[in-house]
Amino acid sequence: MASARHPGVTDLLVNRFNRLAPLSEQECSVLRLIEGRAKHTHQADSLLLTARTEIRAPHFIVTGWAARVQKLKDGRRQIIGILLPGDAIGLSLRKSPLSLASVLALTPMRTVSAPEITAAWSERDRVPGLSAALDLAAAEEEFFMIGQVVRLGRQPAYERIANWFMELEYRLSCRGLSNSGAFPFPLKQETVADAVGLSNVHVNRTLQQMRREGRIELARGRLSLLDREALRNAGEFNPPVLSASHSAPADHRAADAATSD
């Protein structure tokens, strides 16, 4: 029997996790129940989690972008990773977990509490599909964290930004939030600099070069990757394959095949 739908539910969470592992109707109902709850609203630059404080319950982002951030004493900051709609904030199986980094809203946001998710992840026999999807989501996060280390440690500016753009496009396309390489891009240039570990001037020069080459178009808060193959090759971006049974979305598989040919 089909589950009752909740007002305002877009199936963001169902689509996000069903892509990673097949979900039962019961598991989809749990995610729709979570997404249908009253939303918490947050202004841009508000702190959603503070480093080294106790995490009480996980939340999911419904709209808006956030970032995991570490700050230095002089005010400099490094963005460790971008959090997008469908991503979890404060999801951990550790006992009495502490936040390992601060989480900052980069744009106005809406989030929803999801206390059931921690229990679902630990009670694997009751919701095996959702537990498997959460495992793969954690593996995907680790994959992109490794990518961030490689970007910051070894890639020059052009490769670094190309790789990062392709990562964002991949993640957004998996949630139905990118259309043929075009997606909302609500970040200021200084935020981009903090995410890729470059100066504002260096970021600006690199973006201008990408524009001149006809590889991107960035205007009015929207980024279009006009030549994804060139950006993919320049940044050496490969989508994650997280297990023997997991594969990238069809459009990325096709692009990979074309590149390998």
pLDDT digits (tens, 9 = 90+) for 79-131: 999 999 999 999 988 888 999 999 999 999 999 999 999 888 788 899 999 99
Residues spanned by the domain of 194: 155-238+247-255
- Flag whether pLDDT at 69 surpasses 80: yes
- Same domain assignment for residues 93 and 178: no
- Flag whether pLDDT at 196 surpasses 80: yes
- Same domain assignment for residues 67 and 182: no
Query: Residue 76 falls within a domain, yes or no?
Result: yes
H or E element that contains 34 = helix 25-35
How many domains does one find in the chain? 2
- pLDDT for 5-55, tens place per residue? 555 679 999 999 999 999 999 999 999 999 999 999 999 999 999 999 999
- Same domain assignment for residues 37 and 115: yes
What mean pLDDT comes out for the span 220-247?
92
Of 105, 130, 149, the one marking the end of a domain is 149
Q: What's the confidence (pLDDT) of residue 96?
A: 83
- Same domain assignment for residues 16 and 118: yes
- Same domain assignment for residues 18 and 116: yes
- Same domain assignment for residues 137 and 160: no
Average pLDDT, the chain: 91
Closest CA to 66 of 178, 149, 187, 177: 187
| pTM of this structure | 0.90
- pLDDT for 118-150, tens place per residue? 888 788 899 999 999 999 999 999 999 999 999
Residue 214: CATH number of its domain = 1.10.10.10
Report the alpha-carbon distance of residue 192 to residue 99 in Å, rounded. 23
- Same domain assignment for residues 170 and 101: no
Tell me the one-letter amino acid at 50: T
Query: Residue 38 falls within a domain, yes or no?
Result: yes
- Same domain assignment for residues 70 and 16: yes
- Same domain assignment for residues 36 and 92: yes
Of 131, 149, 167, the one marking the end of a domain is 149
Proportion of the chain above pLDDT 70, given as a percent? 90
Query: Residue 56 falls within a domain, yes or no?
Result: yes
What mean pLDDT comes out for the span 183-194?
98
Query: Residue 113 falls within a domain, yes or no?
Result: yes
Q: Is the pLDDT higher at 93 or at 228?
A: 228
Q: What's the confidence (pLDDT) of residue 254?
A: 44
For 161-175, give one letter per residue: b (16+ CB within 10 A) or e.
Answer: bbbbbbbbbbbbbbb
Residue 119: CATH number of its domain = 2.60.120.10
Which spans in 198-249 are helix H?
200-212, 228-235
Query: Residue 190 falls within a domain, yes or no?
Result: yes
- Same domain assignment for residues 143 and 192: no
Q: What's the confidence (pLDDT) of residue 218?
A: 97
- Same domain assignment for residues 123 and 76: yes
Report the chain's C-alpha Rg in angstroms: 19
Query: Residue 44 falls within a domain, yes or no?
Result: yes
Q: What's the confidence (pLDDT) of residue 252?
A: 60
- Flag whether pLDDT at 3 surpasses 50: no
- The two tokens of residue 114 are 């999801």
- The two tokens of residue 136 are 């793969």
